[in-house]
Amino acid sequence: MFDLPEAWVWDFWIVDDGDRYHLFFLYASRALKDPEARHYRASVGHAVSDDLSHWTRVTDALVRSDAPAADDLATWTGSITRGPDGLWYLIYTSATAAPNGSNVQTISYATSPDLYDWTKAPGPVLRADPRWYERLADGLWNDEAFRDPCVLPDPDGDGWHLLITARANRGAADDRGVIGHATSPDLRRWTLQPPLSQPGQGFGQLEVPDPVVIEGRHFLLFNCLDRDVSAARRATGTRGGVWLAPAEGPLGPYDIAGAQLLADRRHYVGRIVTDRSGAQVFLAFRHDGPDGDFLGGIIDPVPIAVRDGRVVLPDFHPSASAR
């Protein structure tokens, strides 16, 4: 397990450089007292491991910029890939404060030769476009949701894609969650595209999207808490947590309406990673404690399995990891 006694640890992403695993994570000081305040003090930390369980913390990757800047409020969740130029690209969420006290999220990037020393590029490189996506001025959501970029190579070798947590500019206010989309020839220049999914699938937002392949089948892993599940879905007794939606490929189509709840809200921001044995394992951060209080900290890897066509975590006992 990866935990910091002095700080809350939450959203994370993992890079395998072929020798070691690199964990990049959001963290903020517990001196803030209120866990909700962590979002506006988030930095991106960095740790390394040989086995996904024992982590050594190293120099932080990113902190927020001085104002005025796209990330002068916080640096939030992103993903990392190695470019054809040999550099590592960290594409991340940049957040800045809006006059009404909310925040506006955009997409920025930084580069590194070695995953340790990062240099921010001028940004942002992407922002929500009202042709397809909801903006803060629409007044239907608590922020301008345009974050959690997930970078992946084009399946046919033609550049790169980003999947983005976004909201459509149409539909019921509590059911506008979509997978935003952008393309790039070189990881530096990005062009926003229409979303890869449609609103009306039962979610106000689809956080930290990540396409995965399990036993040859494509899925979209995403996250949504109770409060952001649509009222219609909540009325059926649905709770939030980590979700897994069947997909035809990494770029969809995705059966978001048919997504299964893989882990409830005791854990959040699920990741499926391949360990050194070649097995796929599940990691997440601890969200709700026994009393509903926020915990933070990343669990040790849990094996996954497929039973009767359904992905399950057979040896996962969430109560044992909550404290």
The pLDDT assigned to 28 comes to 97
pLDDT in tens, 231-242: 999 999 888 999
Q: Decide: residue 322, CB within 10 A, 0-12 exposed, 13-18 middle, 19+ buried.
A: middle
What are the counts of helices (DSSP H) followed by strands (DSSP E) for the chain?
Answer: 2, 21
CA distance 74 to 96: 7
The pLDDT assigned to 322 comes to 36
> Which string of b and e fits 247-276 if b means at least 16 CB within 10 Å?
beebbbebebeebeebbebbbbbbbbbeee
CA distance 104 to 64: 14
* Residue whose entry in the numeric block shows the structure tokens 């084009």: 154
The pLDDT assigned to 48 comes to 98
- Give the pair of three-digit tokens for residue 41: 């003090």
Q: Sheet of 88-97: strands edge to edge?
A: 74-82, 88-97, 103-112, 119-120
> Is the model's pLDDT at 106 over the cut of 70?
yes
Q: Which of the four pLDDT bands, split at 50, 70 and 90, describes residue 321?
A: very low
CA distances for 13 relative to 24, 78, 257, angstroms:
5, 7, 25
The percentage of residues in the chain with a pLDDT greater than 90, rounded to a whole number, is: 93
CA distance 268 to 296: 9
The pLDDT assigned to 167 comes to 98
**What average pLDDT score do residues 212-239 get?**
95
The pLDDT assigned to 323 comes to 31
Give pTM, 2 decimals: 0.96
pLDDT in tens, 153-189: 999 999 999 999 999 999 999 999 999 999 999 999 9
> Is the model's pLDDT at 25 over the cut of 60?
yes
> Is the model's pLDDT at 26 over the cut of 60?
yes
* Nearest to 244, CA basis, from 191, 280, 277, 293: 280
In whole numbers, what is the pLDDT of the chain averaged over residues? 95
The pLDDT assigned to 318 comes to 63
* Nearest to 282, CA basis, from 296, 298, 295, 259: 298
The pLDDT assigned to 316 comes to 82
pLDDT in tens, 39-49: 999 999 999 99
Domain 7-321 has CATH 2.115.10.20: yes
**What average pLDDT score do residues 260-289 get?**
96
Per the CB < 8 A criterion, the answer to whether 25 and 11 are in contact is: yes
> Is the model's pLDDT at 27 over the cut of 90?
yes
CA distance 53 to 21: 10
**What average pLDDT score do residues 54-72 get?**
97
**What average pLDDT score do residues 59-86 get?**
97
The pLDDT assigned to 320 comes to 40
